[in-house]
A and B are shown apart, each in its own frame.
Chain A
Amino acid sequence: MNVNEQDKKIINPFGSDKDFAGCSIFGMLNLEGKRFSSKDPVRAISNMHERSNGLGGGFAVYGIYPDLKDYYALHVMYLSRDAKDRTDRILASSFDIIHDEEIQTRQANVIDPPLVWRYFVQPKKIRPENQTEDDCVIQAVMRINTETGKAFVFSSGKDMGVFKGVGYPEDIADYFCLDDYAGYLWSCHGRFPTNTPGWWGGAHPFNVLDWTVVHNGELSSYGINRRYLEMYGYKCTLQTDTEVLAYAFDLLMRRQRLPIEIVSQILAAPFWSEVDASQSKPNLMLRALRQTYGSLLMNGPFSVIVAHHGEMIGLTDRIKLRPMIAGTKDDILYLSSEEASIRLVSPTLDRLWAPRGGEPVIGRVGGKEIIEAQSIEVHQ
């Protein structure tokens, strides 16, 4: 598809090539899988107010719909009523809709909120051969996001939900009444876009199925990352770099079943000088990874928190041009742009450290061990 044709299909009305943004990110995971309220995550992300400019904030919450956890929860924003009718038709053709409702909101300091709807759906039993339920959901999401014009599915996993929009993160939390929800993993984002006037779909987190990404940075490699993912059927409807990160995780981890330790070596590949250091098996594998997946190297400054059920991952670009700090206290793993936010919600910590560039920090429910490579301990 050439640039011009693609432009017509883009739902982002202010879309330039991609998102230029400075940001704050914060993630909090209970390693026992115990659910907790929005209080700490919202306080923490609000503390980094200066890192956003009121043009985007959002949250991903896992373990949020325990009573309907077997159904895909779709959160959809509508810029027009007409779009809802068309979306409802698409949904009805692929899914049994178990329950749907308008998402509860209250008056808050947010700009131009769209109509936001929540559906709990089950993919129909009769599907094209070889199509999994997940594939069916992705296909419907891509269809709605590209075909309806003014509808946008921004959350599509089971027992998890994304809430985001134009405003400071604390205002978004207020607007969506997040104090009513609880989850065992929260990832949060405050946005400072420099080129796109706020639009609700452009806020973070970005989501596909139960994968979410909150991202601080700009991918200078975006142009090729997008073109590579397009070869595998992903349509980058928002033209933001964070979207390609979400799709890259989906392609590598869900579809190709690569473990996160490998995926991080693809997205933030080690330098050739490290790979060349020996002809050992692991190094030969690193070479093959870069040869094969070079187009998915995420180049340029970024720090991200990627989450899916049971796992929270922090990763920065390989020369760490954006900040990330990690901390633990009892059963909680914290990841944050700034130490102050962690300290605010947990003044004493068991550990606090600065992960190295390109090396992931991985917290898993049920495993007390935080998985990480080398890192720099911060003197407490």
Chain B
Amino acid sequence: MKSYLPPEYLVERSEERCIRCKVCVNQCTYETHSYDAEDDVIRSKDENCINCQRCVTFCPTHAITIKKNPSSYRDNANMTPEVIKDIKKQAETGGVLLTGMGCDKPQLTYWDRLLVNASQVTNPSIDPLREPMEIRTYLGAKPDALEMELENGEIQLKTQLAPQLTLETPIMFSAMSYGAVSLNVHEALARAATRAGTYFNTGEGGLDPRLYKYGDHAIVQVASGRFGVHAKYLDTGAAVEIKIGQGAKPGIGGHLPGEKVTDDIARTRMIPIGTDALSPAPQHDIYSIEDLRQLIYALKEATDYRKPISVKIAAVHNSAAIASGIVRAGADIIAIDGIRGATGAAPKVIRDNVGIPIELAIASVDQRLREEGIRNKASIVAAGGFRSSGDIVKAIALGADAVYIATAALVAIGCTVCQKCYTGKCPWGIATSDPWISKRINPDIASERLINLLRGWSMEIKDMMGGMGINAIESLRGNRLHLRGVGLTDTELKVLGIKEAGD
């Protein structure tokens, strides 16, 4: 069938600059560029280009420019080019439209309509270059009160605290499964988390034994497919996370195509080589809250009550009530993933239409847990589209204890958010299990880039806290008086629990 889809991007090459080095030919995993020896010229197939910028970045003479195809359909506010192309794609394939990364629509982002406070006159701002500025965060259940007793004239602590994760910065790497990303990416995340004093999440594909040495900084995930879950795996992690849902695709499970299931991945996931790894939509042993409680306690038993148990849900309409149930079921941490949360592969219609923005979910969950007097019984970790330290400061002020980042971490090591993760051909060597392409990620360099990002964001968080006159992150957490909204309706302000700017 002839495709009616025009190329999305056009490759422009300056013949004057091009030195025929063939870097672009070798770097493109979509076979966009080819060298014509007869004419000594490099040609491009525009329709293959996904605009990942790999060739642009590596071209030594800056000869290549990728342009959005200026040829477009007649203007129409409803039948936009995106809509028309999607319909044509489905007419040609009869399938579900897949996509990668998080929702790319602008109307769902509240961070840009929240503003942060700073001290002027009545209290001094604090200079983080000269004064201590503390962003350490502990995740886990906290008691209502501590009991003390006097022993030989000394005050002794009687209460034993539940197990805690210690984060030197309130930023963790979110779940990205081995298989969806390569071993090198996993290793880079593990090493960066270890060196920065935070945690990486294994995702639902298990953990390669070569990375067990980073287990003290791993949150090991248990998802509906139970891929790679065994006693040693649970034992290796610092915490265990039950994955109920994911912001990019609430209500459905993960899907790793068989082509990506190579030797190592098959071994780690404990499935045959080349088979599709399909996670069921629900956890089939959790059809209600009491079932979740059983799994939480099964994992606590399995890990000797030495590790916090996290439950990750997608942010949906009644997240607050669900979160309350999860806390009462015994979870030590609730991770909430908003609608802009990314994925390696999800149906586009689900990614862009199902779930709610993380900002609203943090606000309503934190508020509900406080109203019920159980906010201290679990920490809240927010995920889904954090772009900057500013977003993180706002999330913490709304009530999150810490955040998970994934897209930002991948961008730090090369990702350009081309949204083609599901093809397995990631030209940056990230969302692939192809051993040849995977080599493009060097764990030494990638982990350094990740550490730099965490360091930069941590310093910015400290700067903003200092400006607010706060020198400990616990004084920012849930402190919504330091936020104001612009351009929000009364209802939005009410849900967020903040005032309008100027009020």
Residues of A within 8 A of B (CB): 1-4, 17-18, 20-22, 194, 217-218, 220-224, 227-228, 230-232, 256, 258-259, 261-262, 269, 271-273, 281, 284-285, 288-295, 297, 299-301, 318-319, 321
Contact = CB atoms under 8 A, between A and B. Distances in A.
B136 A221 contact: no
Contacts of A227: 370, 478-480
A230 B470 contact: no
A222 B472 contact: no
B126 A319 contact: yes
Nearest to A192: B122
A288 B470 contact: no
B474 A2 contact: no
A18 B161 contact: no
A284 B474 CA distance: 18
Contacts of A292: 142-143, 145-146, 159, 161, 376
A291 B157 CA distance: 13
Given A18-B481, A223-B478, A299 B157 contact: no
Contact of B468 (A217, A220, A318): A220
Contacts of A21: 122
A20 B148 contact: no
Contacts of B136: 272
B462 to A, nearest CB: 13
Most buried by B among A194, A261, A321: A321
Nearest to A289: B146
B38 interface: no
Given A194-B122, A301-B124, A321-B124, A269 B157 contact: no
A291 B144 CA distance: 11
A256 B143 CA distance: 12
Contact of B497 (A2, A294, A321): A2
Nearest to A6: B497
Contact of A297 (B124, B157, B474, B478): B474
Interface residues on B, range: 35 or more
A254 to B, nearest CB: 12
Given A3-B498, A221-B470, A295-B474, 20 more contacts: A1-B371, A3-B499, A18-B481, A218-B123, A220-B475, A223-B482, A227-B478, A232-B373, A256-B146, A271-B132, A272-B136, A285-B155, A291-B142, A291-B161, A291-B164, A294-B472, A301-B123, A301-B124, A301-B469, A319-B126
Interface in B150-181: 155-157, 159, 161, 164
Contacts of B161: 288, 291-292
B389 interface: no
20 contacts: A2-B367, A17-B481, A222-B479, A223-B480, A223-B482, A228-B478, A258-B148, A261-B155, A262-B148, A262-B155, A272-B134, A273-B132, A281-B156, A281-B157, A292-B146, A292-B159, A292-B376, A297-B474, A301-B469, A319-B131
Interface of B: 119, 121-124, 126, 131-132, 134, 136, 138, 142-143, 145-146, 148, 155-157, 159, 161, 164, 367, 370-371, 373, 375-376, 468-472, 474-482, 490, 493-494, 497-499
A194 B475 CA distance: 23
Contacts of B468: 220
Nearest to A294: B474
Contact of B479 (A1, A224, A273, A318): A224
A220 B155 contact: no
Contacts, number: 125
A143 B143 CA distance: 28
B143 A230 contact: no
Contacts of A271: 132, 134
Contacts of B490: 4
B481 A299 contact: no
B138 A319 contact: no
B159 A288 contact: yes
A71 B123 CA distance: 40
A184 to B, nearest CB: 27
B419 to A, nearest CB: 37
Nearest to A301: B123
A348 B499 CA distance: 52
A378 B490 CA distance: 55
A259 B150 CA distance: 10
Nearest to B139: A291
B358 to A, nearest CB: 19
Contacts of B119: 220
A220 B123 contact: yes
Contacts of A231: 370, 373, 375-376
A295 B155 contact: no
B367 to A, nearest CB: 7
Contact of B157 (A288, A290, A293, A294): A288
B155 A259 contact: yes
A361 to B, nearest CB: 19
A93 B295 CA distance: 50
Contacts of B132: 271, 273, 319
Given A217-B123, A259-B155, A299 B373 contact: no
B474 to A, nearest CB: 3
A316 to B, nearest CB: 14
B479 A221 contact: yes
Contacts of B156: 281, 285
Contacts of A223: 478-482
A290 B497 CA distance: 26
A225 to B, nearest CB: 8
Top-8 shortest CB links A-B: A294-B474, A223-B481, A221-B475, A299-B475, A223-B479, A220-B469, A224-B479, A20-B122
Nearest to B490: A4
A25 B215 CA distance: 53
Contacts of B474: 224, 290, 294-295, 297
Contacts of A294: 472, 474-475, 477
A284 B157 contact: yes
Most buried by A among B156, B164, B469, B494: B469
A297 B470 CA distance: 10
A281 B149 CA distance: 13
B479 A259 contact: no
Contacts of A259: 148, 155
Contacts of B493: 3
A222 B469 CA distance: 12
Contact of B146 (A3, A232, A258, A272): A258
A283 B473 CA distance: 20
A300 B164 CA distance: 27
Contact of B138 (A194, A230, A291, A321): A291
A311 B460 CA distance: 43
A372 B122 CA distance: 29
A17 B503 CA distance: 10
Most buried by A among B148, B161, B481: B481
A323 to B, nearest CB: 13
Contacts of A232: 373
Contacts of A22: 122
Contacts of B155: 259, 261-262, 285
A20 B164 CA distance: 36
Contact of A224 (B142, B164, B373, B475): B475
Contacts of A4: 490, 494
Contacts of A319: 126, 131-132, 471
Nearest to B161: A288
A35 B477 CA distance: 45
B492 to A, nearest CB: 12
B476 to A, nearest CB: 8
Nearest to A1: B371
B264 to A, nearest CB: 39
A272 B477 CA distance: 17
Contacts of B164: 291
A297 B472 contact: yes
A111 B277 CA distance: 76
Contacts of A17: 481
Most buried by A among B148, B371, B479: B479
